[in-house]
Chains A and B, each alone.
Chain A
Amino acid sequence: MSSSQEIRTQIASIQNTQKITKAMEMVAASKMKKAQDQMVKARPYADKILNVMSHLAHAHPEYESAFLHERDVKTKGYIVISSDRGLCGGLNNNLFKKVLDMVTKDKESNINSAFGLVGNKASSFFQRSGGEVIAQTSQLGDKPTVEQVLGLIKNVVDKFLQGEIDEVYLVFNKFINTVSQEPEVAKILPISIAEKNKEYDFYWDYLYEPDAKEVLDSLFTRYLESLIYRSIVENLACEQASRMVAMKAASDNATDLIAELQLIYNKNRQAAITQEISEIISGAAAL
């Protein structure tokens, strides 16, 4: 059995670790709240742009945008959204596993894959696992802005328009509630415009200024940006929630460990006292 001194140092060190995990848990909780607020704030824009897109589905533009053009799939693009930092449970790994599964399946049917990566974790994972990375960005911080990801989006979209990528999927964690997040894969390119609503089914079209191509293409670009921005914010909320849960588990484990060690320490101390007393008594009896 280890000496009392050793056990005492061990308890102290676990207590220090526990302090850190507790603090991280609380920080994550408050950051999660902020990320959720950001998620709510991003909603009106996404709703509005969807609204405009559905109006567009009823209009009859003469221009056929390349964004809507379906073609045979030879290369699939994935925009993978991950966190910058670790210590958030299996969040990133579950996501990457899902992507890898899809990529392996594609390989069997001779479809190549290309990646656009958001976050440090995705960068390091996909560099190790191989695959063509066409764009990456990281260090978005706790308050990501659309501006930070514009470069990445442009890269991927240009590749799609040039025909180097035939389909683009967005991969991120969906926020269900604080304790559960699910990896989600959504096809974002080519854009499929929502179902038609019978009510609007008479012939009309917008006036386009300056012309349909320019306006529609910039609308579609913004639509993609809003989708990606929203999923980044959602992924951030997931990251914080997942970190909070992981840190809570760590703090709880530390409490258990400390209780166990304390018990051993007390038993040790008790045994030492008992031994001392019996030595004194037997010494006295010998006199």
Chain B
Amino acid sequence: MSDKIRLEIVSAEQELFSKDVEMVYAPAEMGEVGVSPKHTPLITKLKPGDVRAQISKDEIETFYVSGGILEIQPSEVTILSDTALRGEDLDEARAIEAEKVAQEAMRNSSNEMDTQKAKSELLQAAAQLRLIKKLKGKVKNK
């Protein structure tokens, strides 16, 4: 089908999604990209955030990725996710906890590596929280 594009989301530990979709939105490093069918070949890194797959006009599925690589071919999009959990499965409490721990570590950190690690953990936790809030808002609006 020409008006659809194949989207495959995989993480090293399992396959997460494999379907024909109308449009894909992904958090590329240089800003969010929207991919429609027959896109020119592109390859880029992803930053933590959510990937949205427009399956049909009113069906969108959301995934959280904590980074990875996005490859686009005219008829397929491949997302090699570092760790991707289903959006619905995200544990809000865990994200808040991780944020707290990360913040604490940042305050007390003594060496460069701890700071860097804490920073990236903070970034991920914040992205997870954003997604959860978004998902929650959607439920309320229905």
Contact = CB atoms under 8 A, between A and B. Distances in A.
A218 B78 CA distance: 15
Interface string B44-85: 110000000000000000000000110101000010101100
Interface of B: 8, 10-15, 18, 28-30, 40-45, 68-69, 71, 73, 78, 80, 82-83
A146 interface: yes
A208 B13 CA distance: 26
Nearest to A51: B78
Interface string A172-187: 0000000000000000
A42 B43 contact: no
A45 B12 contact: yes
The dominant DSSP class at the B interface is strand
A205 B41 contact: yes
A215 B45 contact: yes
B12 A229 contact: yes
B24 to A, nearest CB: 15
A48 B80 contact: yes
Interface string A64-107: 00000000000000000000000000000000000000000000
A141 interface: no
A45 B42 contact: no
Interface of A: 38, 41-42, 44-45, 48-49, 51-52, 55-56, 59, 145-147, 204-210, 214-215, 218-219, 222, 225-226, 229
A38 B13 contact: yes
A206 B10 contact: no
Given A41-B14, A49-B80, A209 B69 contact: no
Contacts of A48: 8, 10, 78, 80
A55 B71 contact: yes
A140 B13 CA distance: 15
Contacts of B45: 209-210, 214-215, 218
Given A49-B80, A52-B71, A209 B42 contact: yes
A214 B45 CA distance: 8
B41 A45 contact: no
Given A48-B78, A209-B29, A209-B30, A215 B43 contact: yes
B78 A42 contact: no
Contacts of B69: 52, 215, 218-219, 222
6 contacts: A49-B80, A145-B13, A204-B41, A209-B44, A222-B68, A226-B12
B41 A59 contact: yes
Contacts of A205: 41
A207 B29 contact: no
A38 to B, nearest CB: 7
Given A207-B42, A215-B69, A222 B13 contact: no
Contacts of A225: 12
Nearest to B42: A207
A171 B139 CA distance: 50
Given A42-B13, A146-B13, A218-B45, A207 B40 contact: yes
A59 B40 CA distance: 13
A52 B78 contact: yes
* The 5 A-B residue pairs with the shortest CB-CB distance in the complex, in nearest-first order: A44-B15, A209-B44, A41-B14, A207-B42, A45-B10
B49 to A, nearest CB: 15
A41 B11 CA distance: 9
Nearest to B40: A207
Given A45-B80, A210-B30, A219-B69, A146 B12 contact: yes
Contact of B44 (A55, A56, A215, A222): A215
A251 to B, nearest CB: 34
Contacts of B68: 222
A59 B82 CA distance: 24
Contacts of A145: 13
Nearest to A53: B71
A218 to B, nearest CB: 6
